[in-house]
Amino acid sequence: MNGVVRLPAPRFRGPDLQELVARTALGDQDAFARLYDAVAGPVLGLVLRVLRDPAQSEEVTQEVMFELWRTAARYEPQRGEVMAWVLTMAHRRAVDRVRAAQAAADRDHMAAARSHVPAFDEVAEQVEGRLEREQVRRCLRSLTELQRESVTLAYYRGYTYPEVAELLGTPLGTVKTRMRDGLIRLRDCLGAGS
């Protein structure tokens, strides 16, 4: 052809992870730094897919990297690639974090359920209130008209005895007597019904 020789582009080759793990197992911090740079990104990506929370994912990634530093001597090359071993470790940590969070949420839910004091029964309270009001109405109907008017004006409308006397055009002493007799009859009527 025209004398140009094309050589294939050199392939970039990453660090030998097995060698870095072996050196890390011996305490080589430089080897661990290179191992960290090579695997931290994929570890974070995997953990983030499981946890979906960036802050927790970073924390779990750091835990995995610390575990990698501590357990590098346990790596067995015949059982698989370094990256698969590290990602398996990361996946387990991430799943453990999800399970721990779920267990904590379940415990909180159960504790809240156990400590929950049931609210008062609104329906029962409403029925009881209606029954009491009906009993009061029935007992008020048992009073004479003058007693009922005096009691109603004083206790339901908030008038004083002199104001009731003025409204009814009745002497104050008579109003007081009607009120006293009416209240006694109401007490007896309501007491008999309970």
Q: Evaluate the CA torsion angle 123, 128, 132, 134 in order and state its sign.
A: positive
Cα angle 54-93-104, degrees, rounded to a multiple of 5: 80
The yes-or-no verdict on residue 144 having pLDDT over 70 is yes
Q: Evaluate the CA torsion angle 76, 81, 86, 89 in order and state its sign.
A: negative
Mean pLDDT computed over 86-108: 92
Give residue-wise pLDDT tens across range 47-63: 999 999 999 999 999 99
- The rounded radius of gyration (Å) of the Cα atoms in the chain is 43
- Give the integer Cα–Cα distance in Å for 168 and 191: 29
Q: What is the pLDDT of residue 147?
A: 86
- Give the integer Cα–Cα distance in Å for 90 and 33: 18
Distance of CA 117 to the CA centre of its chain: 16
List all residues 6 or more positions away from 99 whose beta carbon is below 8 Å from its beta carbon. Answer: none
Least confident of 83-87, 115-119, 172-176, 185-189: 115-119
Mean pLDDT computed over 66-71: 95
- Give the integer Cα–Cα distance in Å for 29 and 25: 10
The yes-or-no verdict on residue 121 having pLDDT over 80 is no
Mean pLDDT computed over 5-15: 60
Torsion-angle region of 3 (φ positive above 0: left; ψ -120 to 50: alpha; else: beta): left
The yes-or-no verdict on residue 19 having pLDDT over 90 is yes
Mean pLDDT of the chain: 86
Give pTM, 2 decimals: 0.53
Q: What is the pLDDT of residue 25?
A: 95
Whether 42 and 87 have beta carbons less than 8 Å apart is answered as yes
